[in-house]
Chains A and B, each alone.
Chain A
Amino acid sequence: MRRALEVLALVAVLVAVWQALHIVGGDVALSSPADTAVRAGEMLASAGFWPHVAETFTALAYALAIAVLGGLAIGLLLGLHRLSGAVAEPILVSLYSLPKITLYPVILLIFGLGLSAKVAFGAIHGIVPVIIFTMGAVRAINPVYFRVSRVMRMTTADRIRSIVLPAALPEIVSGLRVGFSLTLLGVMIGEMFASQQGLGFLIMNAIGLHDVPTMMAVTLLLAVVAVAINAVLLMLDHRLHRRAA
């Protein structure tokens, strides 16, 4: 209850700041919270809006699947094999901090314009944090568990299923959360440059036409969905970490 009140207070403060910025900047800069909400409602009711939503979330779903499955597999491998992990870690960290947007033209040249380029771009954003978190989680597992598994003559597959994954799960969920945010960012950037469909394209189009309410409305809807999904993952994250502690 208290939690809900605090979140409500935060939302109220954010809306107040938004309204203040609106008063300072005027309609040219940003539309008021009320206008934006109305425009968002109109868009949700219009049939032309949903294909763009479908495009963005299809790209996001594929990119997430690649980032999560690929990241888990590579992260497990690097976590279990110490030498490769030690060799790969600084390389991964510098990949993580690279402005990957500069590589987007390469992705476009390889995959062509369209859905697959967005998926690939989203996936390269998301996969690196998933790898880093998974690797860190596997490395941090108490070595006693591995000794026990050796005594019990478990196979590698069994060891991964009944020791590595459960022990590393809380950290892996943290990685998923970061991975989700970055994958979404990648897909959005992909749509904002050289794209004809999706929410990112809608925003760029609205920017081009200087249609401030539409731009703000799409941004608002996107932010609400992103924050909602993130909040669910965060709750899961806290619960798992508490259980592990």
Chain B
Amino acid sequence: MTRIGWIRLGVVVGAVLLLEVLCRTGVIDPQTVIAPSAMAVALFDLLRSGEMNADIASTLTNVAIAFVAAVVGGFAIGVGLHAVPPLRRAADPLLATYYAIPFFVFYPVLIALFGMNDLPIIVIGFLFAVVAMVINTLNGLDRIPPVLLKTARLMHMGPLNTALRVKLPSAAPYLFTGVKLAVAYAFIGVIAAEFILSTSGLGYSIAYAYNNFDNARMYALMLFIIILVTAVNMAFYVWEQNQMQRRRRPS
């Protein structure tokens, strides 16, 4: 690990230790925040008891479906908009202001449309994630150096070959950014929808624990979500770094 990596680890560990000390010495009231070690113990017990398994599975499934749909759909919409400039110009203001609209308010509408099941939650996660993918796909396609396209034309490459060998690799860094954002937004959308409106899943379990003053369970679940989301994001980050490094190496 690099020096910066060690410092970063130190900062994070230091912050956790500080919280631990503040909680253990009573500076922070246990009614407000419980010590990190207590959270970890509560989480361990909760996971071993297996009572959260169904909620964890349902949340992860919802996130996964929303994420895949958002990446595939966002990429397709991005490519489509890029191909039809007038449509693109009309959609630009919508894309730019999209995230200013709070989507969770549409949940009841979605329940009325899709019924009382997991679909409305998935749709919210999808709606939240898809535009990040669209925007980054457009960014990537916009930034393909024109000289590459000219070269492709000189070499008489067909449209399919151009797309696969020139456009896709050259837009890849932006597509990665889109994928990373899509996974984060899918998590945020699904968990927030569960938290505010649903009756199952991890988000709902946290809201339920809060309403029942069950701090141990609430913090255990929060810790679980933080670890889970950070691990998923880190995995994508490492994957991206590897891909970038491979691209930089001359083959």
- Residues 73 to 106 of chain B near chain A (Cβ within 8 Å): 86, 89-91, 93-94, 96-97, 99-102, 104-106
B171 within 8 A of A: no
Q: Which residues of B are found within 8 Å of A164, using beta-carbon distances?
A: none
Q: Is the CB of A99 within 8 A of B188?
A: yes
Binds B, one of A73-81, A138-146, A151-159, A186-194: A186-194
Interface centre among B8, B101, B113, B195 (most CB of A within 10 A): B101
Q: Is the CB of A101 within 8 A of B89?
A: no
Residues of A contacting B: mostly: helix
- Residues 194 to 251 of chain B near chain A (Cβ within 8 Å): 195-197, 203, 206-207, 209-210, 218, 221-222, 225-226, 229-230, 233-234, 237
C-alpha gap A229/B86 in the complex (Å): 25
Q: Is the CB of A97 within 8 A of B229?
A: yes
C-alpha gap A231/B96 in the complex (Å): 8
Binds B, one of A24-32, A46-54, A62-70, A165-173: A24-32
A181, A219, A226: which contacts B106 (Cβ < 8 A)? Answer: A219
B4 within 8 A of A: yes
Q: Is the CB of A98 within 8 A of B226?
A: yes
Q: Is the CB of B7 within 8 A of A106?
A: no
Provided the pairs A6-B89, A99-B188, A193-B196 are in contact, do residues A226 and B109 lie with their beta carbons within 8 angstroms?
no
Q: Which residues of B are found within 8 Å of A94, using beta-carbon distances?
A: 229-230, 233-234
Interface residues on A, range: 35 or more
Interface residues of chain B, those whose CB is within 8 Å of chain A, are: 4, 7-8, 11-12, 31-33, 86, 89-91, 93-94, 96-97, 99-102, 104-109, 112-113, 180-181, 183-184, 187-188, 191-192, 195-197, 203, 206-207, 209-210, 218, 221-222, 225-226, 229-230, 233-234, 237
Q: Which residues of B are found within 8 Å of A98, using beta-carbon distances?
A: 225-226, 229-230
C-alpha gap A70/B207 in the complex (Å): 29
Residues of B contacting A: mostly: helix
A57 within 8 A of B: no
B32, B97, B195, B210: which contacts A227 (Cβ < 8 A)? Answer: B97
B32 (CB) vs chain A CBs: closest residue: A109
C-alpha gap A49/B109 in the complex (Å): 22
- Residues 104 to 163 of chain A near chain B (Cβ within 8 Å): 104-106, 108-110
Q: Is the CB of B203 within 8 A of A102?
A: yes
Q: Is the CB of A185 within 8 A of B102?
A: yes
- Closest Cβ of chain A to B108, distance in Å, is 5
A86 within 8 A of B: yes
- Closest Cβ of chain B to A196, distance in Å, is 15
- Mark interface residues in A85-106 (1 if CB within 8 Å of B CB, else 0): 0111011011011111111111
- Closest Cβ of chain A to B228, distance in Å, is 10
